Structure 1
């Protein structure tokens, strides 16, 4: 088993670049200087020899190599070095990754690379790995054959709707670019949870009715919890999706103000680890479950980090069931996610945390809010 060495926060990251365009590697070295140690391989065999003989934290692979295929190289690295962060580097999005590559990589990067963002993202992921302190987790996630794919449309939608002046027709066109997902969004939009009794027949009307924030969460729920997976039970996926949407709405109401959308997104994603095999729900052990399996919260946080989601969301997902680990005072993003999932009876409410944060007098209000939202659907 090939494993990367532990890297202190101030140590340079050891990276491997495998590709035909060495100017990409040169630009990274120029931008990041001694904060990285970068090796370059032009061919698949050369890259494998380097990985087998040295330690790297991450590998950046272009689809085209001087010899061999970038996709095939990622597949071999997945088997031989599952803890290595595997990134596919695409040329302005023109080289669409094949399905095999999506199963073999952790992140998709687009040229021109943002060197600082790349370094920050890799360091955040590696720091999360150290905080979670679970070698089994990295091993398990690295070897899963069919991870839920990154919610690409959701992330694109988030970027587009950061512009407050974006037109509803432009948002609708983006959602409609995936007809299957658009149909799922319409079905969710017409549920009692969102429709308010009004029939919504097209995506443009959904955008106007829901607003960008709610639509973003519906799209994300449709992408993450709506995909078909081998051996997955459709009823269980539907229940997890609906629970996640309800938790999201609760969290947004529990934490009004500038952090509302962040809390809602964290609560929506808090259960994503339950999509993965061999994860534990600590307070509800199952027959035959190994005590050293990662918890679903750990696995979910790790998956979000691989997708490149913001560290705030990653940490909220990791700690939503155990909020005492969060550096929050009062009710913050982690706390709102915890309370929302607890009100839905999906995690035990941490009574000691409630008392320590001075929130005991808010219990009745929380329960009333949960009852109100249950009444909506």
Structure 2
């Protein structure tokens, strides 16, 4: 029987009523009996934060200067932040029985600096004579609950979004502002080639290898500023996607799927790392590794430093080693790939035994994605072979 999963979404019409936030704080006053019972002497809790403001609880064990004889005074004090209205309650609680003693509640609008509470909260003798209220160490537990309404504006403010991405997207293929252009096709002359206009500054910052094509390029006739570069090894439709990525546009899933290997090749050639790794991930996701295509994919991954694809193929060979030995020819496999294969066998064995790697920084047995995450956090290059990534991490670890 199929299971039915449902989700619920709340939609609001009009201005909703104010919401509230509630919090409870426990303050322990150790050896309460030893605290000064002289009027005007007080102790206070450390500052705590509630609803973006700082507070503290103040207790006068012998009462404040105006309290009745023999009473304890308790106050809540606002220490920082804007004025606010708070519903709060305070009581003493027995650690042994959980029973509340001398509970009091009130509502008050606090302004900085400001305190509010009870001068005659309870008699001191009521605390000292209650055997269950103080624990063996003489600790008094004071519990405080706070509730505050969140203020909402009757009219929701409009804040325009940052338009930088839109502006960058608008510059894509904009001939009026461009100062360079690519002629993409199959010939060195412009007959039949597709022209893509671009901006030298954007290319210099985002893809230096494409920008470098204009360092010794020709200038188009009739335009002293427009430099041109001819590209004959990338399909125009693929170059269009590549350039759109440089300008910050997301690639449609269908475009990625249709041109995935061409995108990998072009992104690798011009060192557009995020596009290359994104296309590699898409290729891995859409490709089923078999004994028939394992070697082709392995050699392709090795040639373009596609560490993730290489790892996936190695995992397949390790998991299907009996069939691979019979059907896969290793005659053309470069010797340096043997270490990757041994790592894959080792990881497969550990996973079968249910044992993880106990050395936190043992880079040799980390997955490619783990290595890339670590490199990215350190601001290091994430494009490269497994060996290159491990070496970069080791070098960085030694320096730090």
What range describes the TM-score normalised by the shorter chain of this pair? under 0.3
Question: Normalized per residue, which structure has more strand?
Answer: 2
Where relative contact order (Cα < 8 A, 6+ residues apart) is larger, the structure is: 1
Structure 1 or 2, whichever has the larger Rg, is: 2
TM-score of the superposed pair, with normalisation by structure 1? 0.25
Question: Normalized per residue, which structure has more helix?
Answer: 1
TM-score of the superposed pair, with normalisation by structure 2? 0.24
